[in-house]
Amino acid sequence: MKRTYPDYYDDFVCIADKCPMTCCAGWQIEIDEDSLKNYHKKNIETVDFKHECFFQDRDKRCMNLNEKGLCKLILEHGEEILCNTCRLFPRHIEEFENVREYSLSISCPEVAGYLLKRKEPVTYRTVEDDDVDSESYDDEEQAVYRKLYVLREAFFKIVPDRGLSFAEKAGRILAIAREFQSGMDYILINGDDIESLDVEGAIGADYRPLDITVEGRYELFKVMKKWEYTGDEFKDVLKVTEKALYKASGSDAEGLAQDMKNALSAQGIAPNILTEQILHYFLYIYFCGSAYDEYYFGQAQLAVAACLHIWDFAMAHFKVHGAISLEDIIYFTYLYARELEHSVPNVLATERYMDEHPLV
Ligand code: SF4
């Protein structure tokens, strides 16, 4: 079994009551079978056994949270009491045959902060052990995964190239993913062998830098209005952003973007490195997983869209407040990831929307 980890994986430490968000607020936490049995035995009153989750209060906060934001279950019973969801978060695992890819979710403020504060590109370490996967996998999906892995390696050469603008990186990645998608669609329709797909040809696909108009950006923004939300905080950010960027007359989007970049640079923050980290993150976690849903181009688009969405929030904030800090961008990043990453309906709505409104 191969296990791959980003280089910062082992450094993560939960900051518990110092966390500005806590992972137990807003989400309905699903409880695994073994934990349910244990909770039943211990007669834990905060468990909704019918729906296999914890009860929430009126503010959608887990009923186990005390006023300091600490988990009462841990305080009373120790860490062993935690269900899989709570024990693992913010760790995320993507599984393929004899390969496990580990990551930390940027919906955790501590992880988002770590990632966006680092200047150097993320690297990965792979360890191999003698374990053999006992799961059974679909051969075709795993053949596609191996191809996607090669594409993602190509992306990982493009993304950290600091000689390229975001528009160039996005343009190349989207062109490669689109070429791969049409090749795969052809193979699936005609029943051809997946191995016949020319991955190197896709990597060499012609591209143009991503050139998205304000109208196009607004279209992209609108997908977030179709999402379900964990609370009002994100809805408020959407309202402010829409009003500042897309409803105000006479906006100079390019001038605003440049002013914000200058404001960040004056604080020693490189805007291109922020988008590099976000793009890299989404490609690492989700691109190869498209082996299971065939939205290869959709997943590449989602990674680019995430950068543009988060950037929109930052620009609106800068326009409204006349200032922007790294902490603001970290906040928008984890807030965005909280709404998108842990909601299957939101991911599906975005994938569908990107299918109907492709970026290139
Ligand atoms: S979001 Fe992250 S830092 Fe905050 S409580 Fe959860 S794991 Fe800890």
Tens of pLDDT, residue by residue over 259-305, are 999 999 999 999 999 999 999 999 999 999 999 988 899 999 999 99
Q: Could you tell me the distance, in angstroms and rounded to a whole number, from the CA of residue 18 to the centre of ligand 1?
A: 9
Which residue minimizes the CA distance to atom 6 of ligand 1? 23
pLDDT band at 143 (very low <50, low <70, confident <90, very high): very high
**Percent residues over pLDDT 90 in the chain:** 77
Asked if residue 25 has pLDDT above 80, the reply is: no
**Percent residues over pLDDT 70 in the chain:** 100
Residue found by looking up tokens 């001038």 in the block: 255
Which residue minimizes the CA distance to atom 5 of ligand 1? 22
Rounded to the nearest angstrom, the gap between the alpha carbon of residue 46 and the centroid of all alpha carbons in its chain is 30
pLDDT band at 321 (very low <50, low <70, confident <90, very high): very high
Q: Could you tell me the distance, in angstroms and rounded to a whole number, from the CA of residue 12 to the centre of ligand 1?
A: 10
Which residue minimizes the CA distance to atom 7 of ligand 1? 14
Determine the average pLDDT of the residues in 218-244.
94
Q: Could you tell me the distance, in angstroms and rounded to a whole number, from the CA of residue 162 to the centre of ligand 1?
A: 31
Determine the average pLDDT of the residues in 94-103.
95
Question: Which tokens go with 318?
Answer: 């800068």
Q: Could you tell me the distance, in angstroms and rounded to a whole number, from the CA of residue 14 to the centre of ligand 1?
A: 5
Determine the average pLDDT of the residues in 82-107.
93
Question: Long-range contacts of range 314-317, CB-CB < 8 Å, 24 or more positions apart?
Answer: 314/260, 315/241, 315/244, 315/245, 315/253, 315/256, 315/257, 315/260, 316/240, 316/241, 316/243, 316/244, 316/245, 317/240
pLDDT band at 164 (very low <50, low <70, confident <90, very high): very high
pLDDT at 60: 82
pTM over cut 0.85: yes
Q: Could you tell me the distance, in angstroms and rounded to a whole number, from the CA of residue 62 to the centre of ligand 1?
A: 13
* Residue to mutate, 71, 108, 338, ligand 1, most ligand atoms under 8 Å from C-beta: 108
Ligand 1 atom nearest residue 20's Cα: 4
In degrees, to the nearest 5, what angle opens at C-alpha 258 toward C-alphas 255 and 259? 85
Ligand 1 binding pocket, CB closer than 6 Å = 14-16, 19, 21-23, 89-90, 108-110
Ligand 1 atom nearest residue 15's Cα: 3
Cα–Cα distance between 120 and 55 in angstroms, integer?
42
Asked if residue 251 has pLDDT above 80, the reply is: no
Which residue minimizes the CA distance to atom 2 of ligand 1? 108
Tens of pLDDT, residue by residue over 347-356, are 888 888 888 8
- Average pLDDT over the chain, rounded to an integer: 93
pLDDT band at 50 (very low <50, low <70, confident <90, very high): very high
pLDDT band at 16 (very low <50, low <70, confident <90, very high): confident
Q: Could you tell me the distance, in angstroms and rounded to a whole number, from the CA of residue 15 to the centre of ligand 1?
A: 6
